Amino acid sequence: MNGRVAALAALLVALTVWIYAPVWNFGFVSYDDAEFVTANRGITGGFTLNTAAYIAHNPYYATGGPFTWLSHVIDIELFGLEPRGHHVSSLLLHLVNVVVLFALLRRLTCRTIPSAIVAALFAVHPAHVESVAWISQRKDVLSTLFWLLTCWTYQSYARAPGAARYLIVLSCFVAGLLSKPIVAMAPLTLLLLDAWPLARLDRVQPIWPQWRRLVAEKLPFAVLAAVSLWLTLLSQVDRGAVSEASAPLLLRLGNVTQSYAAYLVTLFWPAGLSPFYPYRWTLNPGHVAASAAALALITALAVRVRHARPAVPVGWLWYLATLIPVIGFVQVGAHAMADRLTYVPSIGIFLAVVWAAAAGAADRPRLRRTAIAGAVIAIAALSVTARAQVRHWESGETLWRHAIAVDPSNARAMANLGATLAGQGRTTEALTFYRDAVRLTPAEPTLLVNYGMALAAMGDRDSAVVQFRRAVQLDPGYARAHLHLADQLAASGRFDEAFDHYRQAIIRDPAYGLARMNLSVTFAEAGRMDDALEAADGAVALEPSRADWRFTRAMILKVMNRIPEAISELEEVLKIQPGHTQARAELTALRSK
């Protein structure tokens, strides 16, 4: 690496660090961080057999992968649940991605300045803040590293094909799939690199036989990609995250068209970024038509300049192809789009624009200087915007207040702010946002459940029951709604009705350990100790490392006068949590009898 290249790489790193330096003092946010990291009992124990079992049973939970889980576990081993270390890990991965992208493009094209500009745009773009500053999106930065390494090793293979080099490329690809299944699109990007800049097509020879050979070369990648995507889809179905997939086909196609255009606008004008964009259930036909026309026009222009400016169609197709799994053909979740999804696709747009400008300025020194000056100004402006965007991720409260400022009708943002405030004990404030969220979206079961939980925390049990009943009526398969309704009914002494809803929660989600344990406690309160023990057994079997559940089971055994079993269970509690004073006191008392 010569001095000029090293200086550019150092400048990229310094600029990126300046943008993301505030994350050093950030915490976790109330947006999946608890579910995936801080309150995820499957991984918070660090490297244990229970952790391995959890990862094996939840490999593609929430579209992450086993390697992503392992990265979180490593952070927990190193830093515990101190957020600073987790943030630094994500930032380091982003920094590595920036430098690797710069080196990769320079290696592929032998062009230093255009490669540095593309890497800089990738490093500083505000839409990428979500992937870096949000700990739950570790899968983005980690999977992209393996994606870029797949391209890097593929360049070596393409220059000198061989079985060993092929296996290295395939290994990097598999590592990417094990980080996030979106890497399934990597074989398409390799085909694009075959066209440019690797130039593996000989224009003198017939084209189609060459394409068939290159496609056949990628078939093992395609098979692995298909398996990964299928496992991911099954995981999302199990989570209930694809309920919106029942949206009419025309609606989904309209959303796909508008999303492609909207992401493009975001890359050129990143204003009004939000952590959540509600799904569009009604579309303006004019907007859809305009988006389709714009996409068609860009595609036609890319095809027209394919010989003179090959980077343009390659970059454009990179953008279109890498968004395919997340663009909404199958709707996952309640969002219409997400800034984080541009992390890899944006590379294609940056590549097309920068190389088109570089080609246009070739042999024109004045125009070249103007183009470089324009790039520097754009990078500077994006950097300032990105640093401001980073600060919105300081906490759950700052994040959701920003989202509401961007879109005052964003019901999900209001509900999430309510949940954040409720988690801080500011329940009265939370109720205001919950009410507004339910007013805007009265048929959203998750919002009703959150509203009901806040009402219950304020002691308004009757109103809470009303909200939980509405949620159950809207979505009879919503296990969480059944659980909270059952809890409130049990607290009111309406045991029989509570039992029914606990059972419904378990039927809807057999792995819902909390529902089984709360059912156990309610059985015990009703004096049905045999049933209480059976339900507790089921909960403990699902999460044997839960010391609190095992203690409850021990107390049930004590009431049933099964003292030796109660002693044995209390001993297990103390193995899991040696500081459990209540368990130690009960154990001492039972042993003294």
Place of tokens 């010569």: 2
How far apart are the C-alpha atoms of 285 and 132, rounded to whole Å? 35
| pLDDT value of residue 185 | 96
Residue 365 has pLDDT above 90, yes or no: no
| pLDDT value of residue 62 | 65
Long-range contacts of 56-62 (CB under 8 A, 24+ apart): 58/235, 59/178, 59/231, 59/235, 60/181, 60/228, 60/231, 60/232, 60/235, 61/235, 61/239, 62/32, 62/35, 62/36, 62/235, 62/239, 62/241
How far apart are the C-alpha atoms of 281 and 252, rounded to whole Å? 9
Place of tokens 């959701």: 400
Task: Please report which confidence band the pLDDT of residue 332 belongs to, taking 50, 70 and 90 as the band edges.
Answer: low
**C-alpha pair distances (Å), 519 with each of 57, 196, 539, 545, 548:** 24, 62, 10, 19, 15
pLDDT tens figures, 109-136: 999 999 999 999 999 999 999 999 999 9
CATH 1.25.40.10 is the classification of domain 397-591:
yes
| pLDDT value of residue 24 | 95
| pLDDT value of residue 282 | 83
Q: Average the pLDDT over 90-109 and give the result.
A: 98
Lowest mean pLDDT among 87-91, 173-177, 587-591: 587-591
How far apart are the C-alpha atoms of 394 and 548, rounded to whole Å? 32
| pLDDT value of residue 238 | 58
Residue 107 has pLDDT above 60, yes or no: yes
Measured CA angle at 381 (ends 259, 25), to 5 deg:
90
Contact 424, 460 (CB under 8 A): no
| pLDDT value of residue 244 | 44
Q: Average the pLDDT over 165-179 and give the result.
A: 97
pLDDT tens figures, 298-309: 999 999 999 999
| pLDDT value of residue 246 | 58
Spatial CA neighbour of 537 closest among 557, 558, 522: 557
pTM, entire model: 0.90
Helix, strand, coil distribution of the chain in percent, nearest 5 = 75, 0, 25
Spatial CA neighbour of 350 closest among 312, 323, 384: 312
Q: Average the pLDDT over 391-415 and give the result.
A: 95
Spatial CA neighbour of 99 closest among 82, 115, 77, 78: 115
Domain residue extents for the chain: 3-391, 397-591
Instruction: For residue 555, give both structure tokens.
Output: 């107390």
How far apart are the C-alpha atoms of 477 and 240, rounded to whole Å? 9
How far apart are the C-alpha atoms of 85 and 17, rounded to whole Å? 15
pLDDT tens figures, 570-588: 999 999 889 999 999 999 9
Cβ neighbours of 532 (radius 10 Å): 24
Residue 278, beta-bridge partner list: 335
Lowest mean pLDDT among 16-25, 177-186, 275-284, 515-524: 275-284
pLDDT tens figures, 228-239: 888 877 766 655
Average pLDDT, the chain: 92
Residue 245 has pLDDT above 70, yes or no: no
Cβ neighbours of 336 (radius 10 Å): 17
Contact 233, 262 (CB under 8 A): no
The distance from CA 507 to its chain's CA centroid, rounded to whole angstroms, is 28
Instruction: For residue 30, give both structure tokens.
Output: 């109330």
Q: Which of the listed ranges 199-203, 246-250, 504-508 does the model predict with the highest average pLDDT?
A: 504-508
